[in-house]
Amino acid sequence: MAGDFNLITNSSVYQYLISSHPDSKLWIENNEAGTEVESFEEPAPMPLGSVYAVANGREPKFTNCKPEFKNTLDYIFFSPSRLITLISVLNLPDSIKSADVIGGLPNFYHPSDHLPVAAEFEIRKIKYA
């Protein structure tokens, strides 16, 4: 499941989406803002993980970068299993001083106000007897 969710990582909706994923503590441990995370009575029904949090141990510093706002709003969620494995994610700038985001987005390098997010997966075939 991928898209522009317009959710920051400390939002209750984001936390709910990753609440059943075994690696969800990766984000909490790397939360730079030190924001207190809400607890949920019921975890999400499907164990979703964010590909960037799983691959890098944290979400990107930003996927939306404007002079007045910089944060992560775009995600690719997946449910790891023996049939689907995360192979890689698209590298994103780690600083607003990166040449392709200086001055904010959109710009010559990125025609949208959001950076592209991408992941590569390996999907295994199921063999039926």
Find the domain containing 61 and state its range: 2-123
pLDDT grade, residue 23 (50/70/90)?
Answer: low
In a domain, 60, yes or no: yes
In a domain, 128, yes or no: no
Contact between 19 and 44 (Cβ < 8 Å):
yes
pLDDT at 46: 78
In a domain, 13, yes or no: yes
The SS3 call for residue 57 is coil
Percent with pLDDT over 70 in the chain: 81
Q: How many domains does the chain have?
A: 1
In a domain, 77, yes or no: yes
Whole-Å CA distances, 45 to 17, 71, 120: 9, 27, 24
Whole-Å CA distances, 18 to 15, 41, 51, 73, 76: 5, 14, 11, 15, 11
In a domain, 129, yes or no: no
Q: How far apart are CA 93 and CA 11, in angstroms?
A: 23
Per-residue pLDDT for 26 more than 50? no
In a domain, 92, yes or no: yes
Per-residue pLDDT for 99 more than 80? yes
